[in-house]
Amino acid sequence: MNIPNQNDDPAILQALEKYKFYHIIPLNERLSTPGVPGFAKLHSPVLRQMGKMDFQQKRVLDIGCRDGLFSLQAERQGAKEVVGIDSCLSIGAVEFLIPFFKSKIQMKEKGLFDLNLDSDGQFDIILFLGVLYHLRYPFNALKIVSDLLAPGGILILETGIFADSDRHALLHCPIGTESPYEPSSVTFFNRKGMVDSLASFGLKVLETDYITEQDRHSSDEKVVRGTFRCQKNLDLYDSQLHRYWTGNPHQNWRKTT
Ligand SMILES: C[S@@+](CC[C@H](N)C(=O)[O-])C[C@H]1O[C@@H](n2cnc3c(N)ncnc32)[C@H](O)[C@@H]1O
């Protein structure tokens, strides 16, 4: 397709009509992609955390990147390589947004569980935003994310959090209509469960930002959105415990307990 010039509003509007967008991404001073306004408020804490970070020369992975709002931001902040993956590729991003911004983002249709260290390598920064609560295998996902993050690297995780008293580390795993969102949303750690689980994967939480979502949860449930900026710290990662958890036959658990 012919990519419109940044100032050619009629041609931009015509191009936008072909696609469905999730993110609201400014295209020029007058026009933006027609994303879902209800989700826009979830983006501010993430953009705030990104604003504090140095992306210069960094290799960045955006898991569940959708239309690429955060991938584009990482590129704008100087990342040398940005890989965006999503199990449902945004055609609007690939056909229109990436060429429109003359971006070098590598956007691929790929699921998180198909990522691995051998083929994808390690990243300096991983963005894992609005995806964890959709996953049925959250611990496997956190393991993959941790493995793909370089030592000292930064993870920004954004997810729905079950807000309780935090006396215990909990994972709320509702099925069907019991989900505070909709049936694809099945994984809600409480704050302690999230922070402690991240630590067990060698991910130390440096800063947290919570916002409430009064319009999205029912009256008796307390789900907030949490943005966690974490740093990979191998000192927190107990390889012997991980060998036990993954059932690796070479672990030497009995001898040491
Ligand atoms: C709620 S949207 C969040 C989009 C974006 N990260 C944001 O925060 O605005 C969740 C995205 O994750 C993608 N997704 C869900 N499960 C995935 C998986 N296992 N691997 C990769 N992407 C996934 C969905 O297709 C969707 O685009």
What does the pLDDT read at residue 257? 38
Percent of the chain with pLDDT over 90: 82
Phi, psi dihedrals of residue 230, rounded to the nearest 5°? -125, 155
Burial of residue 116 (number of CB atoms within 10 Å: 0-12, 13-18, 19+): exposed
**pTM, whole model, 2 decimals?**
0.94
Phi, psi dihedrals of residue 16, rounded to the nearest 5°? -60, -30
**For helices 191-200 and 138-148, angle between their N-to-C axes, nearest 10 degrees:** 50
Establish if 183 belongs to a structural domain: yes
Domain count, the chain: 1
Atom of ligand 1 nearest to the CA of 112: 20
Residue 66 CA to ligand 1 centre (angstroms): 6
Which tens digits make up the pLDDT trace of 175-186?
Answer: 999 999 999 999
pLDDT band per the 50, 70, 90 thresholds, residue 196: very high
Q: ∠185-191-197 over CA atoms, to 5°?
A: 85
Number of Cα atoms under 13 Å in the Cβ half of residue 101: 22
Establish if 199 belongs to a structural domain: yes
What does the pLDDT read at residue 249? 66
Mean pLDDT of 48-54: 97
Could you tell me the residue range of the domain that residue 251 belongs to? Answer: 130-138+152-206+218-257
Q: ∠121-87-31 over CA atoms, to 5°?
A: 100
Which one has a higher pLDDT value, 248 or 79?
A: 79
Does position 251 have pLDDT exceeding 70, yes or no?
A: no
pLDDT band per the 50, 70, 90 thresholds, residue 100: very high
Establish if 246 belongs to a structural domain: yes
Establish if 191 belongs to a structural domain: yes
Amino acid at 208: T
Residue 59 CA to ligand 1 centre (angstroms): 20
Does position 104 have pLDDT exceeding 60, yes or no?
A: yes
Establish if 187 belongs to a structural domain: yes
Of 173, 178, 171, 180, give the one whose Cα is nearest residue 217: 180
Residue 222 CA to ligand 1 centre (angstroms): 22
Out of 44, 126, 134, give the residue to mutate to test ligand 1, the one with the largest number of ligand atoms within 8 Å of its CB. 134
Out of 36, 73, 120, 131, give the residue to mutate to test ligand 1, the one with the largest number of ligand atoms within 8 Å of its CB. 131
> What residue owns the CA closest to ligand 1's atom 17?
87
What does the pLDDT read at residue 111? 98
Establish if 68 belongs to a structural domain: no
d(CA 51, CA 42): 15
66-70, 171-175, 251-255: segment of lowest average pLDDT: 251-255
d(CA 44, CA 201): 26
Residue with tokens 């991983």: 126
pLDDT band per the 50, 70, 90 thresholds, residue 211: confident
Residue 123 CA to ligand 1 centre (angstroms): 19
Establish if 85 belongs to a structural domain: no
Amino acid at 32: S
What does the pLDDT read at residue 213? 63
Q: ∠120-122-128 over CA atoms, to 5°?
A: 85
| 214 within 8 A of 221, measured Cβ to Cβ | no
Establish if 198 belongs to a structural domain: yes
Pocket of ligand 1 (CB under 6 A): 63-66, 85-88, 111-112, 129-131, 134
Does position 1 have pLDDT exceeding 80, yes or no?
A: no
Amino acid at 68: G
